[in-house]
Amino acid sequence: MRKALDEVGEEVGRYIRLCNYCSGLCMPEIAAMGALEGLDVMLNDALYGILFRDINMQRTLIDQYFSRIINGFAGVIINTGEDNYLTTADAYEEAHTVLASDFINEQLAFMAGLPSEQQGLGHAFEMDPMLENGFLYELAQAQMLREIFPNAPLKYMPPTKFMTGNIFRGHIQDALFNIIGQWTHQGLQLLGMPTEAIHTPFMSDRYLSIENAKYIFNNMKDIGEEVEFKEGGIIKSRAQEVLHKATQLLEAMESEGLFTALEKGIFANVKRPKNGGKGLDGVTLKGEHYFNPFVELMKGKK
């Protein structure tokens, strides 16, 4: 898969993006503003704009490359958007695509000089709460990601897809999510709201969510150091299954390439054409005398 990503990087590297207003997410400009304002964390995903905003894939990869160079130079932690895949695809059946995308985002970040410590790779607690042993599968996913990316401040998203407006069940769902977050040492944990699917949360709703998290984080502070997982049990077996499927997917992508995979709808069940979407008219081949001194300067300073 690294070879396939190198080929994508080489192809994208032949082009430069010209600013044309309203054609894309303008990630480098946003990254520059965030750096100037001293932000700690910023959303920066290599595939999100392609899948969910219909930004052209070539445009997006050019943008994300330079924006990540800026973030790396400025010490800004990025977070990626794999959690969104599970709002359009089943979280149990398509869990391996989240892991595969995390691997891709990691490698593209390394290409831009962004260290693991600044990569908030994303995932989410989004399985159907009526799924038998769903908590164990969610725990397997979170623990697997923590072990695979030990230095990354993982971004863990709360349940949203199966929040129904029942605030009492929703609060329990958020509590289970908080338990796994503390158990597996997630780095960037967004808090769920009991009124998800009803309205934009009030301050009182936010207070309940913070109270929920603080209680669990304190009361279960060292559970991750105290509990071991059963060899051959549900949790370890599920993690091995997801990793195996992710490996198979990446091996298949090695031959066909990232662009083709995106055209087939491998991620989030969303298909995007290589030459479609917004912003391609703002991409042009680099001229013979093109020179950008900032790339190597920013990538070289740590």
Query: What is the per-residue pLDDT for 23?
Result: 38
What residues pair up with 75 in beta bridges, in sequence order?
none
Active site residue 54: no
Active site residue 48: yes
21-60 residue pLDDT tens:
443 456 888 899 999 999 999 999 888 889 998 999 999 9
Note the pLDDT of residue 18: 55
Q: How many CA atoms lie within 13 A of 193 on its CB side?
A: 14
Active site residue 65: no
Nearest to 57 by CA among 300, 263, 214, 195: 263
The pLDDT assigned to 253 comes to 92
Q: Encode pLDDT of 129-160 as tens digits.
A: 999 999 999 999 999 999 999 999 999 999 99
Give percent of the chain with pLDDT exceeding 70.
91
Of 48, 85, 137, 156, the active-site residue reads 48
pLDDT for 219-262, tens place per residue?
999 999 999 999 999 999 999 999 999 999 999 998 889 999 99
Which residues lie closer than 8 Å to 42 by C-beta, 6 or more apart?
A: 30, 31, 34, 71, 76, 77, 78, 79
Say which residue, 285 or 214, is predicted with more confidence.
214
Residue showing tokens 């704009």: 49
User: Do the beta carbons of residue 122 and residue 45 sit within 8 Å?
Assistant: yes
Q: How confident is the model at residue 300 (pLDDT cuts 50, 70, 90)?
A: confident
Among the listed residues 155, 156, 174, 278, the single catalytic one is 155
Select which of 45, 63, 65, 83 is catalytic: 83
Tokens of 107: 């490698």
Say what the alpha-carbon torsion angle 133, 48, 34, 159 is, to the nearest 10 degrees: -20
- The percentage of the chain sitting over the pLDDT mark of 90, rounded to a whole number, equals 75
